[in-house]
Chains A and B, each alone.
Chain A
Amino acid sequence: AQSVTQLDSQVPVFEEAPVELRCNYSSSVSVYLFWYVQYPNQGLQLLLKYLSGSTLVKGINGFEAEFNKSQTSFHLRKPSVHISDTAEYFCAVSDHSSSYKLIFGSGTRLLVRP
């Protein structure tokens, strides 16, 4: 069965510093990969997705992620964070045979300090 591991439960960072949120998935089959953001008391908003093609994916709000098949990773990065980026970030995977069924990681809380 598919699983997603987000290695850091919380990442504190100062404003304007770069950040990387780590995500690893367990699968040898073809997968689709997603990063979602959740602000307090809200639903999930899609940041970016990898379906195929270029392994570097750019999303909204200046975020990007790199798909690494050999390491089964899909780490999220931003070169300079803002206070408003403080939120919970979830990595998710679905395999091609059960598309639209997302398996989520446990989340990483990004805490941006002034």
Chain B
Amino acid sequence: DAGVTQSPTHLIKTRGQQVTLRCSPKSGHDTVSWYQQALGQGPQFIFQYYEEEERQRGNFPDRFSGHQFPNYSSELNVNALLLGDSALYLCASSLIGGSDYEQYFGPGTRLTVT
């Protein structure tokens, strides 16, 4: 049973560019949440996708957008990259209505903006 997978593992981009990160949820899960973890800090909730729609959103600008596909996988897009967007981006999957309320995290994508 594959867990949550993310790609790529590492990414280096230049200020102003755009980036797309990808996430495949754990088998049987239908919900994907994205978190940003800056160096030395705890993860911060970006948004959550369920049934191909954004269900909840944290305090992030519109430069951050996402998508969920019919197979439940998800993408995180960031436009007009800033140096402050450098962080570890974590994807977590869960099952809406599941009794364990547990989110399973992927290994993350390390984004460096130069």
A45 touches B105 (CB 8 A): yes
| A71 proximal to B (CB < 8 A) | no
Complex Cα distance, B43 from A51, in Å, reads 21
CB pairs A–B below 8 angstroms (14 shown): A4-B42, A6-B42, A32-B101, A42-B107, A43-B107, A45-B105, A46-B103, A49-B102, A94-B101, A101-B48, A101-B56, A102-B33, A104-B44, A106-B40
Query: A42 — nearest CB in chain B belongs to which residue?
Result: B107
The interface of chain B, by Cβ under 8 A from chain A, is: 4, 31, 33, 35, 40-45, 48, 56, 58, 90, 92, 94, 96, 100-108
Complex Cα distance, B57 from A101, in Å, reads 9
The interface of chain A, by Cβ under 8 A from chain B, is: 4, 6, 32, 36, 42-46, 49, 51, 90, 92, 94, 98-107
Complex Cα distance, B106 from A49, in Å, reads 18
| Residue from A43, A44, A51, A98 within 8 A of B56 (CB atoms) | A98
B103 touches A104 (CB 8 A): no
Q: Known A105-B42, A106-B41, A107-B41; judge A99-B101 contact (CB<8 A).
A: yes
Q: Known A49-B101, A99-B101; judge A43-B108 contact (CB<8 A).
A: yes
